Structure 1
């Protein structure tokens, strides 16, 4: 077979396409798992898909906030430890609410509040958090009623810069566990969701609004009712529109104020009445319900889950809605419950256990099933962008197999919390962070060479990248890297094993040769393969 001439500066290399029986090996594409990848959105994400240094916790992280120089994590953990430290090494003993340095990721040991619950003797787990708009205060909610022995009924305030405890929220907090918090953009009102029956001295069922000016319980009091199957009635997510006019709530409910509202509703921020224009059935009855809400400018993003419905009537993806009218901008249908959302620039990062995003341009259902702890969507279109973060845990401990539950960002980095022991194959427990930029290819190509009479066949198993799908492969003969003998750009994804075979005919009988292959991502970062064994041309 005649060699093909490639672009100027490249040497000629034969790509054989006949059958093995004829003695020629073709440009091989073998899919070990599943179908070819979908058409990912080509624009690069803001964040890298490979992690950087970050402290760890010994249990799940349910909520995260980022200030000017701190990362606050709340959850069901009893200690933190440094990045890279094995369990039991360097433990701080700081439980349920902890701070980490935003620059280094190291635990901040001087922040050490003690959260407890003397009503029921249970752990003081933190399940929700929010920063005031000016960034001065951190407000947390959960299962505690004491902070450092001082009364703080399920809600507590801290100085976001120093971490100092500032007391409970409102006149008497609430009388049951808190699972959702939101602050109005003007900083005057805290909206609270969870499972409780009173706020301050007023009856409030599962939702309440508390003044951050005079501590009073306010009049916003929508009524949620009719729980979804096998779920306790509660509110698990809250957000406020950028114009202060609407409060969005989500959870395992089917009615709000006596009207149908499957798992999500938009209400008047003052009265709690349902807002005009918003549908009652963004999510499918009777089992789908909202789990995460994020507001950015005039968009509201809604994530959901459904543990019982099968087929196409299962809502587990993400909606983009007009925050004023309720009109649908797009719906990204990914199967695998959504738990957290974070908008950064043109990206919407989704904390989930997505396993089938084919309908949104992402990876299809595979066998064995492939889960992503974070995937990214194009904010304008909802199409999946290349972003492949994975976690894993201990099969005997359900708290280490939660993948991701919370996201936070300051625009320069993205932090994820959840329940896991490894991130992208490396040891990292329950909290991890990613810096802005592009990661180098994570897995290099792997070449093997086989000599024949007057040629060498080079079989290359392609690599992959955590935040790119289009990788360029440069084939080098020997140690020189100034002039590759072949260049090929291929879609490369971690769940598909792809092998490409090249035939080098620019060799002579008796010549001893070896090869290396460089994988280069669109940003120019690269990783070099190991060299093949030296082979003698027949």
Structure 2
């Protein structure tokens, strides 16, 4: 079929909402990973210490790691034997294996440790700092210089640092040190000092601080040094945790007063555009700050989780931490720990947001997300990072306290490369629905890939090997919004099946999603269609068949839900007349929460149905700042008291509620419809289509958060129930970005009880086929059936067809079959569906005794693709209307030579049995 250029353009879906065209979209040539991320999240085999790595540096393709350990061993399953490595190991950046360079950092009393490593600009000298007295027996005092070419300590370099050195940085002529010391070479140097890079002689640089130093960074012009640590003063000037001093004298050139007192700066790094700090705090600031080249702050990332190291590379800032709460950045709420993250080093020109609380938010997180764990020692996880290059390949090395990487055992060291992405995205979880003729909405929870945030999804219909549509959508580990596509080429009364795959930028493709099927209605489903038409941007119908995904059936909201603690699925009967189901909640731990952070405007409507006999109350629907934990801030909610009263509440500074009366209770185990609105006219509450009260309050709590159904915090609210969680059934939850009128509310209530089409699915009660090549054989017990013209196979199906419900007639009918798993199950021939006019039985019918077939087709399959999949074709409604309420037989026949193989009613495969889908509706 020839397509116009206009239609081809319409097929290029990059999905913010739903599309309606079909076709195969050409995908741009894939890069290895989603830019600007430079490394895969697939860790490479790397030798591992038996302790903690505190410091790393790189030179000429070799990575140096220092810490507190005594040996290194091969990666799990790798060749080789454990080797002695006393607080230091040199490794080949490309292989991850130890080199021939062996250095032992020791001390007579106590435990030696290496806490800092840096390399001279000419890449010839490695400087080490920590707490140690000798390197390979050569006496030193917590700082050493190593000749990289010979792997030997320089005996002439031995400045005396009497306490732990925690950071080092080198200029052409000077080595700067930070740590716990108060003297160097017997001269007062409190926490920061500078020595000659060649001789180790003390320099006149003085930057005395009152608490330990932990981080150093030479300014890009070499004129200043950025200091980080625990301190509150430098050379008597007030400046907590961060300061800038003259690189020659140590005189203070810039102070800072915006780092909270309980926080310390652990890391400072630089690129050509500025400087980056990583902070750790106790109830303070745990995140990252970006400074411009003039040392003024550009943005601040206030994620909580003890940032240990920051490393800018090619426009991306990589960080190691155990970030567990990025609420302040509009990202994930307090919960699981995220150990390795990436974000752009700066906002694009003109895109930086306005300051909030005096600080500009950081650029959002990118799609790079290797996993780790807390590990040993302090349980911090990753502590340090370094980048090495070998040929055209770049390697990101990570060291720390972790004992797991990407869920597998790996201690203290790991590495990632710029090539070789081999991890496929997770398999999409798909859902499908149809509420009006000519339209099917295919939805799926976005997949997750640890190094690709932009994935390509392909939708396959009825088992075809060619996708019917291709869609791109973004996702992160903590932000997996629903994606969707609308098939506008379907026919009323026909069943369709769909599967979805996800592909990353390197071409790695997930498995196909589980098959989801839907029958297209012959007429509009009044209630859900009206909810969509009235503008819901969240619509959870609870017809889902698998956990944990709850599909959003709104036109373009794509705000899916996540089931927490396995609520009961597909509870019947639902609130709305017809086939829709509800979800059951246990009243103690179960809920559904939305999967992306958002804000709610000043005008909105909440709507849901519920049924319960609980006397413990609970939240029905509300908005809060967390997902799977109790929200700290929460309002815009509907909740039930112990006595069954309904409250609608907001908190613009204090709690404001509208409620049903003292005797107006709804825990009577019947379905009830509740709607709450807030807008310029204030608050309103409706139950079962009737107004229950209003309140002239237009404000609510201005928070970013998530929608919750079935539970969340209710502390501090009037008539608080015994339980935060609701026990009962909930159905048809919708949120609108506007106020529904009273007339619209009443219309929704009435439509839910209105007559609707009835869909009956009837499985074959008996089936068989005949084979001309075995004319005396009966196949009534076979798990598969066959159709071919020459030499002949014919299939016969018997159905007990129900009578039409009272007041209804047959509006559409279709036959559904499923091809078997044999390689050539499909056919290129047309298979006709005809009435069987003769008698037959599964046990006794053979080719020699086959029944007579009618000559007028009731429907046909115009070719069926190979691959096991559900296939459906419309049948003549008039002909089937005449046989309602009887046993009726259909035959499948063709005139071609290419056979079709389908499952029989004896098969145990899912959706395998032949069935009729009959839609009955009003005359």
Tell me the TM-score normalised to structure 1 length. 0.78
Paired position in structure 2 for 1:248: 226
Say if 2:125 and 2:146, in contact at 8 Å, map to a contact too.
Answer: yes
Tell me by how many angstroms 1:493 deviates: 3.0
Paired position in structure 1 for 2:370: 389
RMSD: 3.5
Within the candidate set 427, 435, 455, 1:471 is matched to 455
Name the CA distance, whole Å, in 1 between partners of 2:367 and 2:215.
27
Tell me by how many angstroms 1:183 deviates: 0.5
Say if 2:41 and 2:369, in contact at 8 Å, map to a contact too.
Answer: yes
What stretches of structure 2 of length at least 5 have no aligned partner? 1-5, 12-16, 18-33, 348-361, 516-908, 916-923
Matches within 5 A, 1:16-415: 44-85=36-77, 90-108=81-99, 110-118=100-108, 120=109, 122-167=110-155, 169-170=157-158, 172-184=159-171, 187-225=172-210, 233-275=211-253, 278-284=254-260, 286-297=261-272, 299-308=274-283, 314-323=284-293, 325-360=294-329, 363-366=331-334, 369-381=335-347, 382-384=362-364, 385-393=366-374, 397-398=376-377, 401-410=379-388, 412-415=394-397
Tell me by how many angstroms 1:365 deviates: 1.0
Cα offsets for 1:141-163 (capped at 9, x unmatched)? 11111112220111112222442
Residues 182 and 370 of structure 1: CA distance in aligned 2, closer, same or farther (over 3 Å):
same
Residues 404 and 440 of structure 1: CA distance in aligned 2, closer, same or farther (over 3 Å):
same
Name the CA distance, whole Å, in 1 between partners of 2:111 and 2:156.
18
Give the SS at the match of 2:510.
strand
Name the CA distance, whole Å, in 2 between partners of 1:253 and 1:393.
27
Say if 1:238 and 1:250, in contact at 8 Å, map to a contact too.
Answer: yes
Tell me the TM-score normalised to structure 2 length. 0.47
Residues 9 and 292 of structure 1: CA distance in aligned 2, closer, same or farther (over 3 Å):
closer
Tell me by how many angstroms 1:498 deviates: 6.3
Name the CA distance, whole Å, in 2 between partners of 1:151 and 1:47.
40
Tell me by how many angstroms 1:446 deviates: 4.7
Give the SS at the match of 1:388.
coil
Tell me by how many angstroms 1:99 deviates: 1.0
Tell me by how many angstroms 1:480 deviates: 5.6
Residues 145 and 514 of structure 1: CA distance in aligned 2, closer, same or farther (over 3 Å):
farther
Tell me by how many angstroms 1:304 deviates: 1.4
Residues 297 and 509 of structure 1: CA distance in aligned 2, closer, same or farther (over 3 Å):
closer
Matches within 5 A, 1:444-455: 444-446=426-428
Residues 503 and 167 of structure 1: CA distance in aligned 2, closer, same or farther (over 3 Å):
same
Say if 1:58 and 1:80, in contact at 8 Å, map to a contact too.
Answer: yes
Residues 241 and 531 of structure 1: CA distance in aligned 2, closer, same or farther (over 3 Å):
same
Cα offsets for 1:457-498 (capped at 9, x unmatched)? 9885542011233322213357764x2134333333334676
Cα offsets for 1:46-84 (capped at 9, x unmatched)? 222332232212111111111112111111122112223
**Structure number with higher relative contact order (C-alpha < 8 Å, ≥ 6 residues apart):** 1
Cα offsets for 1:408-467 (capped at 9, x unmatched)? 113622111111111122222111111125845544215579999x99998855420112
Say if 2:286 and 2:306, in contact at 8 Å, map to a contact too.
Answer: yes
Tell me by how many angstroms 1:128 deviates: 0.5
Residues 101 and 488 of structure 1: CA distance in aligned 2, closer, same or farther (over 3 Å):
same
Tell me by how many angstroms 1:281 deviates: 1.0
Name the CA distance, whole Å, in 2 between partners of 1:330 and 1:390.
26
Corresponding pairs, count: 472
Within the candidate set 499, 502, 506, 1:519 is matched to 502
Say if 1:440 and 1:521, in contact at 8 Å, map to a contact too.
Answer: no
Give the SS at the match of 1:173.
coil
Moved more, 420-429 or 262-271: 420-429
Residues 501 and 273 of structure 1: CA distance in aligned 2, closer, same or farther (over 3 Å):
closer
Q: Pick the structure with greater CA Rg.
A: 2
Residues 155 and 516 of structure 1: CA distance in aligned 2, closer, same or farther (over 3 Å):
same
Say if 2:169 and 2:177, in contact at 8 Å, map to a contact too.
Answer: yes
Say if 2:432 and 2:442, in contact at 8 Å, map to a contact too.
Answer: yes
Say if 1:10 and 1:485, in contact at 8 Å, map to a contact too.
Answer: no
Cα offsets for 1:206-253 (capped at 9, x unmatched)? 22111023431000111101xxxxxxx311111111222111111111
Say if 2:312 and 2:318, in contact at 8 Å, map to a contact too.
Answer: yes
Name the CA distance, whole Å, in 2 between partners of 1:328 and 1:437.
34
Name the CA distance, whole Å, in 1 between partners of 2:433 and 2:203.
80
